[in-house]
Structure 1
């Protein structure tokens, strides 16, 4: 009978090498690559990005909304759309007809600033089917609002106090001259007051 062949066992050294290589490859993955794949951005992108924009009334400067509620813009009408606004915005009760574009007649209500009662834009109460997306947003006229970006301030107080001027002979002479002139002015005023007082006494 033929002798049974023993199965060949892999060498322990080769297995250890494979495990070591596998471990090295897994630990060498860059975390920034994973973050970019999952979230679509890295810390560098966040630092370089612009901050949110706050929209304010163009007249009294009360905040009316921000770019976190951005819904789009209407270049043809020079308007922006926001999904949410602050309590400084009021919606009028009267409806009026508005022609958004040719053959698109809409029913709108004006949007006012609570502070100064200025008209800032409108909300659409009734629209044709092709403009239904406007009924869920506040439309602001770009000409009636202003904006500023959070984090855009750059002015800071200096860490050091105001620089003191060194006391030199020239500077000391100027100060002494000014003090002398002030002293002469005070004496002149005192003399004038004394003359006025004497005149009142003579009249009495």
Structure 2
């Protein structure tokens, strides 16, 4: 009985350490991959490193693998094709996996893999989309900073109030031009009379 309890406690302890070893702090990895945590930035769009087609986004984030330089997503766009042929992949000397390649629809580049069969310590990777960080780029939504310069230093939006002011100024200018035209006619008429008398 005591030996059985000891065996049970040993098994629980090893299961706990296995679980703890596979836990990943995704915040630390996000900071390494994106420069800052996503809380400070907008959502991230992942794009093919070669043809720039979007392949996924950070809203479907599942984690990352620092040692293998991979990110995992739960969902991807239709621009990602999942291969049909399983092949063996050796993660480490004792970890053989069956994987299927992820291929870009646009340029047919291999972007990563889906783990179809894994040893128990890699079960967290199974049936997620694992992208090689070297084969994709990312774009943070809202990070654009370039703007066109305003044409004038006091440029204003056209509002009803602004339109009323412009119409009033145009009316005043029209009255001034008409007044000047009338005055010019009077001067010309006076010059004409002066020429006729001489």
TM-score normalised by structure 2 residue count: 0.56
Residues 54-203 of structure 1: matches in 2 within 5 Å?
Answer: 54-160=45-151
Distance in 1, matches of 2:43 and 2:67, equals: 24
> How far apart are residue 130 of structure 1 and its match?
1.3
Distance in 1, matches of 2:149 and 2:45, equals: 28
Distance in 2, matches of 1:117 and 1:59, equals: 10
> How far apart are residue 100 of structure 1 and its match?
1.5
Gaps of 5+ in 2: 1-38, 154-198
> How far apart are residue 150 of structure 1 and its match?
0.3
Q: RMSD value over aligned CA atoms? A: 1.5
> How far apart are residue 161 of structure 1 and its match?
5.3
Are the counterparts in 1 of residues 112 and 129 from structure 2 also a CA contact under 8 Å?
A: yes
The structure having more radius of gyration, on CA atoms, is 1
SS at match of 1:110: strand
Distance in 1, matches of 2:79 and 2:44, equals: 17
Distance in 1, matches of 2:152 and 2:50, equals: 38
> How far apart are residue 146 of structure 1 and its match?
0.5
| Post-superposition CA distance 1:21-58 (Å, at most 9, x none) | xxxxxxxxxxxxxxxxxxxxxxxxxxx72101110000
Are the counterparts in 1 of residues 79 and 104 from structure 2 also a CA contact under 8 Å?
A: yes
Distance in 2, matches of 1:120 and 1:161, equals: 48
SS at match of 2:83: strand
TM-score normalised by structure 1 residue count: 0.54
The size of the alignment, in residue pairs, is: 115
User: 4+ residue stretches of structure 1 with deviation over 2 A?
Assistant: none
SS at match of 1:136: coil
User: Structure 1 residue 51 and structure 2 residue 39: aligned?
Assistant: no
